[in-house]
Amino acid sequence: MDTIPTEFDVLDERFAAVNGDDRVERLHIGTRWAEGPVYFPAGRFLVWSDIPNDRMLRWDETTGVVGTFRQPAGYSNGNTLDREGRLISCEHGNRRVTRTEHDGSITVIADRWQGRRLNSPNDAVVRSDGSVWFTDPPYGILSDYEGHAAEQEIDGCHVYRADPVTGGVLVVADDFVRPNGLAFSPDESLLYVADTRARHIRVFDVRDDGSLTGGKVFADGSANDNFDGIRLDDTGRVWTAAGKAVLCYDPDGTLIGRLGLPEFTANLVFGGPKRNRMFITASTSLYSLMTSVTGALPVWAAR
């Protein structure tokens, strides 16, 4: 394991209290495009995707050992956990969202909408009612690099909600160009969704019935800020992978800080026993930084 100097840029005084180790750890190097980090508190390990190599890797927090978690892996991209600690994965190659049961078997959550195959599910998040929300751009079917080249069967790239009771798949937002990372606010009243092609993050109000209203632009990116994965901390600040950095936004939409990295970032997650260790997937590497920030606890975990 090697380290690099931590580069925090304070862009607003509200970011001044954010700090952490003075060096960022590089826990692993050797992926083609690292994505989808998810931390398992019960086992103290992290799983992430290496999309072009069609594999998922596993890093053990207690030993520092990295091994193969799954290969082939359906060219998996984004990953998250459900209320029972089961792995939810977006599989580019199989064009589906799946759940890995505790016995290792795979359950398909969604692979079609109105009888047509999904494009290539990208990232997912689980709400406290058990519904699985995911984005569906076409990156996995544009070529054989991140999946399998194929025709797009659905006219558009949407945000979906898979019902936990009926299993039905509903479109909750249909006006995105390339929807990508998504995350709920700590109280689940808001849903943030990145649109990589449009270079912005939008925010929606979430109704009790699972429908969305609003959708205003929360953050505008520059030419270098292709917003990707999103996570929130327990104060409601929005952290997003963008270019060669992780950006931090105040809940009012102000860009307040930046963590610079030497590679293009894809995603991040808060983990560790106190949820104050930031794990970042970036191009060839998995990075880690112990911070003064605590990741938001899912609503169901706080009950």
151 is in an annotated binding site: no
Are the C-beta atoms of residues 259 and 245 closer than 8 Å to each other? yes
60 part of the active site: no
Give the three-class secondary structure for 15.
Answer: helix
Query: Residue 300: which H helix or E strand, with range?
Result: helix 299-302
CB atoms within 10 A of CB 200: 18
- Percent helix, percent strand, percent coil in the chain, to nearest 5: 5, 50, 45
79 is in an annotated binding site: no
276 is in an annotated binding site: no
Are the C-beta atoms of residues 193 and 133 closer than 8 Å to each other? no
Bridge partners (DSSP) listed for residue 280:
268, 287
User: Which one from 228, 234, 250, 252 is the annotated catalytic residue?
Assistant: 228
Give the three-class secondary structure for 134.
Answer: strand
122 is in an annotated binding site: yes
146 is in an annotated binding site: yes
Q: What angle do CA 192, 163, 208 make, to 5 degrees?
A: 55
Question: Which residues are annotated binding-site positions?
Answer: 35, 122, 146, 180, 228
Question: Which residues are annotated binding-site positions for substrate?
Answer: 122, 146
- Just list the catalytic residues: 228
Question: Which residues are annotated binding-site positions for a divalent metal cation?
Answer: 35, 180, 228
